[in-house]
Amino acid sequence: MRKKSAGGFTLLEFLIVIGLMGILILIVTPQLLDFNKKRYLTSVAEDLSQAFEQAQLFAAKGVQTVPGVFIKHYEVRLTRDSGDGAGYYSGYQIVRVDENDNAVPLAVDDKEYSCPVCIYSANGASFTYRVPTGQLDNLTNDPETVSVCYPGLGSFDINFDSIGKVSIESLDDGVCSCSLVKCSP
């Protein structure tokens, strides 16, 4: 009489399944990491473009947020450390400026991004929206362009013009670089 085998998988079948799962993980993991990097880069670009929109909106509506202080304009100021390369920034602030050209304490918004993402602006670090028109003053170019870069992945260009229109270009997967002290090995 033949002995009935107990059900289940043989060791060989089990090892084959484990091997196939390992191969799938090796294929999917790099794609998942790139997806996460692209998502972070996209969120930084969207966040920065919304900062320009918010400053323009506050200026156009003449938002006066501090009792007894006349807000003359709102500025989007790109922030950096002293050792960062020329034109490279790690974040931004939306600052209220009074009639004496002094920044009002406590920024409206203040963001610092983590490495390796950086912001690049060839034409300055401060963009001023006048109250109550919302017009952008002192642009070198109209529209102006600021880039958000993730080295090895690509960059987004954010374009904004003197009347407040803001747009994000599609991802440019060309070479971009960041020169930030905090990101140096």
Lowest model confidence (mean pLDDT) among 30-34, 103-107, 169-173, 179-183:
30-34
Both tokens of 140, joined, read 């070198």
What's the total number of domains in the chain? 1
pLDDT tens digit string along 123-176? Answer: 888 999 999 999 988 788 888 999 999 999 999 999 999 888 999 999 999 899
Residue located via tokens 């090995």: 185
pTM (predicted TM-score): 0.82
**Within a domain: 88:** yes
pLDDT attached to residue 116:
94
Average pLDDT in the chain: 90
* Domain membership flag for residue 2: no
Within a domain: residue 3? no
Q: How far is CA 14 from the centre of its chain?
A: 45
What is the predicted pLDDT for the residue at 89? 96
Check whether 5 has a pLDDT greater than 70.
Answer: no
Q: Please give the residue that has the higher pLDDT: either 9 or 167.
A: 167
Inter-CA distances, 1 with 4, 6, 7, Å: 9, 16, 18
Query: Which residue from 30, 15, 23 is spatially nearest to 153, judged by alpha carbons?
Result: 30
Identify residue 127 by its one-letter amino acid code.
F
Question: Is 5 domain-assigned?
Answer: no
- Using one digit for the tens of pLDDT, what is the confidence trace for 56-79? 999 999 888 778 889 999 999 999
102: confidence class by pLDDT, cuts 50, 70, 90: very high
User: What does the pLDDT read at residue 4?
Assistant: 63
Domain of 98 in residue numbering reads as 31-183
On the question of pLDDT at 84 being above 70, the answer is yes
20 in a structural domain: no
CB 158 within 8 A of CB 48: yes
Q: Is residue 21, in this structure, part of any structural domain at all?
A: no
Predicted confidence at residue 1, as pLDDT, reads 58
We report the CATH number of the domain holding residue 56 as: 3.55.40.10
**Cross-strand bridge partners of residue 132:** none
In a domain, 171, yes or no: yes
- Whether 42 is covered by a domain: the verdict is yes
What is the structure's pLDDT at 72?
93
- What is the side-by-side strand order in the sheet with 71-79? 109-112, 91-98, 71-79, 126-130, 136-137
